[in-house]
Amino acid sequence: MIHDVIPEQVVTRAIAHLSGRGRQNAVYALRRWVAWCDNARTHILDADRTLAEAYIRYLREHRKLADNTIRAEVTHILRLYKWAHQEALIRSNPMIYVRTPRAPARSTRPWLAREQVQAMLAAARESLPAVDALAHLLVLNGPRVSEVVRIDLADLGTHGDLMTVRLPLRKNGATDTISVAPETRRAIDRAREGRTTGPLLRNPRFGNRMSTAMARQHIAGVTRAAGIERHITPHDLRATFITLSREAGVPDRDLAASSGHHSAKMLEYYDRSVGSIERNATHRLSQWLEAP
């Protein structure tokens, strides 16, 4: 079929509602899809399920991408065709039945044990003020690193005796206000160093806002200083927050509200200790069998 609209125009219109990192990810993913269709001499509005599944095989077998990465990339493609169908650019959605890699029921991310968290926070207290606040917020509140680096001093407040932090933009587009523990409040006070405006977390060298890339570097550094040999990322600390909060007996309702998740399903996904290591059934069964 001959189409009047060029593929780049389709992509631009389809992602017009997106912004920030989500828009960037969509642009990169759809540019690669357009190139794949061009190579197959197919207009993107004429692409079908067969072409999409061939692309998925290419991503897995030739680019050696992990299933999670493939699923994220293909999601942008599927949304493009849903939008095109809604806009009557195509008569039906050819991608409804595309077989994408299944999402795992449980995260494979590493997490830190209680003693490791204690060692990490001790190392953070001996580190730079911004690193101290970064580590305490990530471990004790479980936000995404992108949410933490956006915090401005104007986002700090109080509720009774508690310090509060306004998270300007969570993943679902909402704005949440969270409270922090006394130890995190100490770290935040140290990081702001008497300032009343500007970002909470600053680049120690230049004084500008800390980037997510720099935050990842600082977390890797402070975990090494704590004697933790594995490479730990800010998102691993989010998994740690959820896992240890459950171990501490925090109700799922409160935990979901604190972490910004919509349901307990994602808590199960990140809670790596459930039924796997610390509470594996093997220990109770072994003790039961050995009992007189």
Residue 211 CB coordination number (10 Å): 13
> Is the same domain home to 174 and 257?
yes
> Is the same domain home to 118 and 79?
no
Listed in sequence order, the residues at least 6 apart from 12 whose beta carbon sits closer than 8 Å to its beta carbon are none
> Is the same domain home to 266 and 144?
yes
Residue 201 CB coordination number (10 Å): 25
C-beta separation of 25 from 32 below 8 A: no
Looking at residue 134, its pLDDT comes to 97
Could you tell me which of 277, 280, 271 has the C-alpha nearest to residue 106?
271
Q: Which residues does the chain have with pLDDT short of 50?
A: 274-275
Looking at residue 115, its pLDDT comes to 93
Looking at residue 98, its pLDDT comes to 94
Looking at residue 90, its pLDDT comes to 93
Instruction: Give residue-wise pLDDT tens across range 48-58.
Output: 999 999 999 99
287 belongs to a structural domain: no
249 belongs to a structural domain: yes
> Is the same domain home to 58 and 124?
no
> Is the same domain home to 266 and 155?
yes
Secondary structure E strands in 146-257: 156-159, 162-167, 176-179
289 belongs to a structural domain: no
> Is the same domain home to 49 and 177?
no
Could you tell me which of 137, 30, 9 has the C-alpha nearest to residue 75?
30
Whole-model pTM: value is 0.67
Q: Radius of gyration (Cα) for the chain, nearest Å?
A: 23
45 belongs to a structural domain: yes
**DSSP code at position 46:** G
The token pair at 275 is 């039924």
Burial of 128 (0-12, 13-18, 19+ CB in 10 A): middle
Looking at residue 119, its pLDDT comes to 96
> Is the same domain home to 149 and 74?
no
> Is the same domain home to 178 and 72?
no
Residue 189 CB coordination number (10 Å): 14
242 belongs to a structural domain: yes
When divided into structural domains, the chain yields a total of 2
Residue-range definition of the domain harbouring residue 61: 7-86
280 belongs to a structural domain: no
CA separation for the pair 276, 107 (Å, rounded):
12
> Is the same domain home to 202 and 60?
no
Over the range 141-175, which residues count as b (16 or more CB within 10 Å of their CB) and which as e?
bbbbbbbbbbbeeebbeeeeeebebebeebeeeee
**DSSP code at position 202:** B
Looking at residue 275, its pLDDT comes to 47
